[in-house]
Amino acid sequence: MAVTAAALVLAACGVGGATGTDGGGAGADGLDGAGGGPGATVPKVSRAVIRITPQDGTAAVPATGPLVVTADRGRLTQVRVADAAGAPVPGRISEDGHAWRPAGALALQTRYTVDALAQDSDGRRAAKHAVFTTVVPQHRFIGFYSPEAGQTVGTGMIVSVVFNRPIADRVAVERAITVTAAPAVPVAGHWFGDRRLDFRPQHFWAPGTRVTVRLRLRDVPAAHGVYGSQDKDVTFTVGRSQTSVVDAARHTMAVRRDGRVVRTLPVSAGSPQHATYGGWMVITEKLPVTRMNGDTVGYGGEYNIPDVPHAMRLTRSGTFVHGNYWAPPGVFGTANTSHGCIGLRDVKGGGGTTPAGWFFDSSLVGDVVEVVGSHDATVAADNGLGGWNLTWAQWLAGSALRHPR
């Protein structure tokens, strides 16, 4: 509203407005006498009564208020609510003129001023002014998201948001995060515990899809005294389609690009004692070289390799597709000897023309690797980006918006 707070008050003063204890104002519109002498009558007072909630001087008001301005025995004509910088709070007066409410939530840790005008049925005006402050959060929370903005990813990419604090109000937080696609497809959220919220469509993304993640977490309540601090948009693009099928029983990996098998590679999967997980897994990280130590995944000192080449992470628990230079070449395509990883023939330092080098260069974060013919269980949906192992109905069942808890 273009009228300033000062103008509202001056407008009231211009007609003799003076805020009374009942919230109304004294109106000087009509003087029954012509002068100010002994024969003059007392100015008539507006019957309109303005009430502002919260009351003047109130502190620690929640972002959701309540904030309401009402008028009894009259109609509101102007209401302005603004923060300390003068930015107005959008809102509207009801059709009957008896109430004004904001269009959305307030900002936290903010001082607001309210100036309201009303008039009674005789046109006499009343004014009221109030100041209040919103709550100062005890704690803030943020979400760490993947993939990164501007990234080109595979068709199996699942948007994952991990929070730095437990989320009690999952409905409010899930409602504050939206994931949209162009071309449009339905996208739904699924909670894994109280710190992780993933989003995916029913089927893999179509190549070329542009996906936008909108985090509107600022001042959203997550738990008692805990509010969000992010207001951010993240956009990424889906690249070509590549899905690789590892047949652990046949020791092969068929790489399918845009619906056509472009290459079949010999592999060595997990040994009978340490079988590779079955099911759908998604590449979440690409490392030209990394250290693999059995101590970090519960295998004690069984292995400690400082320079594993062409490593691509599939699970949080430590399953990778990676180059292997230490096994005899004859192992690939004939035997499963790893501790659960999928090994491809490579050379020390990583070779660009080796099977491992070719697959590394041909893959994107977000590409899907499916393992069949394994004696191990299907990978858990929260182990890496394993959400594709849930049916669409199972995925929707994990949404707080569809199934509030």
Q: Report CA torsion sign: 373, 375, 377, 379.
A: negative
Would you name the residues annotated as active-site residues? 322, 341
CB 71 within 8 A of CB 49: yes
Alpha-carbon gap, residue 375 to 373, rounded angstroms: 7
Q: What 3-state DSSP class applies to 358?
A: helix
End-to-end C-alpha distance for the chain, whole angstroms: 40
Q: What 3-state DSSP class applies to 127?
A: strand
Alpha-carbon distances of 189 from 155, 185, 206, 384, rounded to whole Å? 17, 13, 19, 16
Alpha-carbon gap, residue 100 to 85, rounded angstroms: 21
2 CB contacts (<8 Å, ≥6 apart)?
Answer: none
Q: Which two tokens stand for residue 241?
A: 């389609």
Kindly provide the residue ranges of all beta strands, DSSP E only, lying in 258-299, ordered along the sequence: 260-268, 279-282, 285-293
CB atoms within 10 A of CB 316: 14
Alpha-carbon gap, residue 193 to 191, rounded angstroms: 6
Alpha-carbon gap, residue 127 to 24, rounded angstroms: 7
CB 384 within 8 A of CB 304: no
